[in-house]
Amino acid sequence: MSDTKYAYAVARIRAMEVSLFSAATIEQLIACKSYAACLDFLREKGWGDSEGEKTAEAILEREEEKIWEVMRELSVDQKNFEVLFYQNWFHNLKAAIKKVCTGDNDTRNIYFEGTNMEPEQIERAIREKDFASLPEFMQEVAQEAVETMLHSADGQLCDCMIDQATLRAIMQAGKKSENQVIKAYAENTVAVANIKIAVRSQKTGKSKDFMERSMVECDSLNIQSLMMAALGGQDAICEYLTGNGYGEAAEALKQSPSAFERWCDNRMIQTMKPQKSNPFSVGPLVAYVLARENEIKTVRIILTCKQNDLADDAIRERVREMYV
Amino acid sequence: MSGIVWALLGAAAAVILAGCGSAYGVGVAGQAASGVVTEDPSKFAKVLIMQLLPGTQGIYGLLVAFLTLSKIGILGGGAADISVAPGLLIFAACLPIGIVGLVSGMHQGRTSVAAIGIVAKKPDQFGKAMLFPAMVETYAILALLISILAVSGIQV
């Protein structure tokens, strides 16, 4: 009965889910006549700060901050959410390696902030080659990537190594976790990333060797078969996906690249939807974080489309499925 | 042990076990209720009712304990001289509400937490939401009935 320790947090999240954007709200946002009207609509819905900046980027950034402010207020062990930060941590690692190895003194902010691990800590570790001060799952790849950058200055290879390490770290966190939602998140993230790698490798004519350096084993896909399918062309990928429970991905892939990208995000939300009826465990909290991130991403897409005067139908094609 | 000790143990078991069940149930439902009220104080009355539902088992245990204490004369100030057999019978008679009170109180608390989730998202469904934890109450009432009938029927 230890799962009841999340009773307060889950009930509070349930109350907050009421204010998540539904498909109908997204439709209202799309129906706004202009970019400025969209921003007004968001502010009416309580997005951003009443006092703060009124630009879209400031509003969206503030909403991202709000997610983690709420999670900290819930007095839940933040380690539960650590796996959600991995992609940002590894991005910061990539940025730090490139900054240090190229001697770039650009003062622009190249790091993700608010990720429970200060970017300066990563940058200092890289600069001083103090890899032991990094989390265990980062140490080996950080050292290898630094050596690669210093010897060959091959940024793409460096990215490739770190991206694979990211997926591996997520997969390991999923396997170690006793929580079914974290397991599902890890499996889904890695499987979708493998499919993306296969699709993009096929489109850009990458070799099997490249895919081997990028993909990570997961339970729902056989990456050797996926690589062979990628070498055989898009139809072979679609055939493989259809035969392995990813028929919707194959359909989306045939439809358009934006439909495929949308499927990748929708798949995660669909995986999280059962948490709407789970009154205990940390699952609903993780699902809420992902739902909020998905909501912010969708709003960002709509705003970008509005800014570029895209037709409503073109926007709808890119809109992600909502959690509520 | 003499019969009076067994009878008192029965009364204690009814109060302690049923009370523990209620304390757990009300506690966990209270945590969930606090979570909802943090975000929406207007739902206070609705979630308070949900929180109180698992509290009845403790009252049932208390009721059976009162009956038992009255039966053995403790409440009147003069404890009856009870032999072991009726003492054990009274102990056994107190067990249904004790054990069922403990288990049902805990489960009713968990069901209340789930029902509070319904109220948080759909306050207009309060009536339906309340039925789920109320169903668990049935078994506590059945156990209370048997305990009362049994304690009342034992000749001391």
Does A3 reach chain B within 8 Å, measured CB to CB? no
**pLDDT range class, residue A2, cuts 50, 70, 90:** low
Total domains, chain B: 1
Cα separation, B106 vs B102, in Å, equals 6
Chain A residue whose CA is closest to B119: A15
Q: Closest Cα of chain B to A37: distance in Å?
A: 28
Contact (CB<8Å) B32/A17:
no
Please write the tens of the pLDDT for every residue from B63-106: 999 999 999 998 887 888 889 999 999 999 999 999 999 999 99
What pLDDT is recorded for position B139? 97
Please write the tens of the pLDDT for every residue from A61-70: 999 999 999 9
Contact (CB<8Å) A15/B40:
yes
What pLDDT is recorded for position A1? 62
Contact (CB<8Å) B32/A280:
no
What pLDDT is recorded for position A117? 79
Contact (CB<8Å) A280/B110:
yes
| Whether the predicted pLDDT of A106 surpasses 80 | no
Please write the tens of the pLDDT for every residue from A288-323: 999 999 999 999 999 999 999 999 989 998 999 999
Least confident of A48-52, A94-98, A305-309, B47-51: A48-52
Chain B residue whose CA is closest to A276: B117
Q: Closest Cα of chain B to A278: distance in Å?
A: 8
Q: Closest Cα of chain B to A25: distance in Å?
A: 17
The tokens 């007095």 sit on which residue?
A75
CA-closest candidate to residue A61, choices A296, A318, A298, A304:
A296
**pLDDT range class, residue A113, cuts 50, 70, 90:** confident
What pLDDT is recorded for position A51? 77
* pLDDT mean over A46-51: 85
* pLDDT mean over A142-152: 90
**Tally of residues, chain B:** 156
The CATH number that applies at residue B49 is: 1.20.120.610
* pLDDT mean over A244-267: 93
CA angle A320, A321, A324 (to 5 degrees): 135
Cα separation, A240 vs A223, in Å, equals 11
* pLDDT mean over A263-287: 93
Domain range for B127 is 3-153
Does A11 reach chain B within 8 Å, measured CB to CB? yes
Q: Closest Cα of chain B to A50: distance in Å?
A: 19
| Whether the predicted pLDDT of A127 surpasses 70 | yes
> Which CA distances in Å does A166 have to A91, A176, A224?
9, 15, 20
Contact (CB<8Å) A8/B117:
no
What pLDDT is recorded for position A107? 64
Contact (CB<8Å) A4/B35:
no
Cβ-based contacts of A3 with chain B (< 8 Å): none
**Range A44-83 burial, b when 16+ CB lie within 10 A, else e:** eeebbeeeeeeebeebbbebeebbbebbeebebeeebbbb
Q: Closest Cα of chain A to B45: distance in Å?
A: 15
Percent of chain B scored above 70 by pLDDT? Answer: 99
Contacts across the A-B interface (CB distance below 8 Å): 63
Least confident of A35-39, A105-109, A149-153, B23-27: A105-109
Supply the ipTM of this predicted assembly. Answer: 0.85
Does A10 reach chain B within 8 Å, measured CB to CB? yes
